[in-house]
Structure 1
Amino acid sequence: MAPTTRFRWFWWLVAYLALALGVIGIVLPVVPTVPFILLAAFAAARGSQRLHHRLLSHPRLGPMITDWQAHGALRRRAKWLATVMMLLAAALLLWLAPHLWIPLVASSIMTVVCIWLWLRPEPPTDPEPTAATAPPPD
């Protein structure tokens, strides 16, 4: 997609800001990583082709971004990891929060996100070549 030069700086800024928040989310369990990385890829495609290429070629992030861009899909491992991290964050909030309403509100939001996450499709697996799709023998 060819970005307009008028808004290219805006998309560049959004891409790097989202990437920074995604990296912070790797360390802090209450900051989501995946949505910020996907936002960074979306914005980088419009503002920084170099960053977009680096994200797509990253060994950990690249397949996730490609699955999302091609199919709107998330891998099952990512869904499980996100679910477990949300459960740990909810337990931590319940233990440390000064008021009960804080973990209740946060847990409610995490529950909605978790439901949405599990409703997303999984990327298609590459099927084994069948006789119809296999190349003919020499």
Structure 2
Amino acid sequence: MTQSAKRFFWMVCGCIALGLGIAGYILPLLPGTVFLLIAAFCFSRGSERLHNWLITHKHLGPPILDWTNHGAIPRRAKILATLMMAAAILASYLMHAPIPVIIAQAIILPLVCLFIWSRPIGPNP
């Protein structure tokens, strides 16, 4: 694979992740910041200009920089993630998901919550 093909690949992946990240700020079930982090990663390999634009963007840049510089997750995101995980377990139960699925969720999702809540809130609360 040529260098320009690799850059193109990373730029396409970055654009897809950016689109999903922006959609995540509109749609409540889509994790916007995660996709913005993926977009920043992809753009750092595909386009320095797009990477710089993303991390300096007025609205999209702060959550990326909070995670990159401080490992921080905003309080609102922590609360929303916790509520969505609880809703996922409840929905699985109400839809009569297989017991192993519910047990796996009941073990894994609280551990994910523990990780999320152990992260600092960051300088931009």
Q: TM-score with structure 1 length normalisation?
A: 0.66
Deviations 1:101-137 (A, max 9, x none): 2222234332222111111122136xxxxxxxxxxxx
1: CA distance, partners of 2:92 / 2:56: 34
Would you tell me which structure has more helix in proportion to its own residues? Answer: 2
For 1:19-30, list aligned pairs within 5 A.
Answer: 19-22=18-21, 23=23, 27=27, 29=29
Q: Report if the CA contact (8 A) 2:33-2:64 is conserved.
A: no
Q: Unaligned stretches of 5+ in structure 2? A: none
Q: Which runs of 4+ in 1 moved over 4 A?
A: none
Larger of the two Rg values belongs to structure? 1
Q: Report if the CA contact (8 A) 1:74-1:121 is conserved.
A: yes
Query: For the structure 1 residues 120 and 96, does the alpha-carbon distance in structure 2 shift closer, same or farther, using more than 3 Å as the test?
Result: same
Question: Alpha carbon RMSD of aligned pairs, Å?
Answer: 2.9
Deviations 1:73-99 (A, max 9, x none): 112222112111211122112211431
Percent identity, aligned pairs only, is: 36
Deviations 1:21-52 (A, max 9, x none): 543696473x5443222111221222233365
For 1:78-97, list aligned pairs within 5 A.
Answer: 78-97=77-96
Q: TM-score with structure 2 length normalisation?
A: 0.71
